[in-house]
Amino acid sequence: MSISSNDLKNGITLNLPEGLLTVVEFQHVKPGKGPAFVRTKLKNARTGQVIDRTFRAGETLGFAQIDKREMQYLYKEGDEIIFMDNETYDQMQVPSKNLGESVYYVKENDTVVLSMFDDEIIGVELPASVELVITDTEPGVQGDRVSGARKPAKLETGLTVQVPLFVGPGETIKVDTRSGEYLSRA
């Protein structure tokens, strides 16, 4: 499939020689002299790298159809995570490395939206925050309320975050999925 550079919109994914690139920002420019062009800011769907690119007005570009599927995390088997499609009940094995850092924010029975191009997973849409249980940290002591003091805590998914001194093992906390920081007790 292809699309004209005149029809670009934010969120459209293009299949270019550089890879799968999502339009973050675009601007049609018609200078006083010379032909019109489209200035864009594109984000690589696989690596997250942002690049600036300029196209001629009316240039034909490769369009990538991204399929978003709601899937449930069933279990982890070795280095792969098994997901089940919520509509067809088909199971899919996904290498952990394809999910990147997202693997630390999902646990068994969670439902996530996977972005797919052909049969390749290129991204995971996570909620703004998730609730995870602390598996290992120093126990909280009554009176440990020093402002800003933090200690490391290992969570059930293997993620380590900095938490306040008063939070102890076995407690459920909210973690921001964008920054990986402790938000509050759940």
pLDDT digits (tens, 9 = 90+) for 55-87: 998 889 989 888 888 999 898 888 888 899 888
Q: What is the CA radius of gyration of the chain?
A: 22
pLDDT digits (tens, 9 = 90+) for 3-29: 888 888 888 889 888 888 889 999 998
> Over pLDDT 70: what percentage of the chain?
95
pLDDT above 80: residue 150? yes
Helix, strand counts (H, E) of the chain: 1, 16
What integer best gives the mean pLDDT of the chain?
86
pLDDT-derived band of residue 146, with 50, 70 and 90 as boundaries?
low
pLDDT of residue 37: 92
Q: Is 63 exposed, middle or buried (0-12, 13-18, 19+ CB in 10 A)?
A: middle
- Domains located in the chain, CATH noted: 2-62 (2.30.30.30), 67-125 (2.40.50.140), 129-185 (2.40.50.140)
Q: State the residue for tokens 């279990």.
A: 75
pLDDT digits (tens, 9 = 90+) for 114-134: 888 887 788 788 888 888 998
pLDDT-derived band of residue 147, with 50, 70 and 90 as boundaries?
low
- pTM strictly above 0.85: no
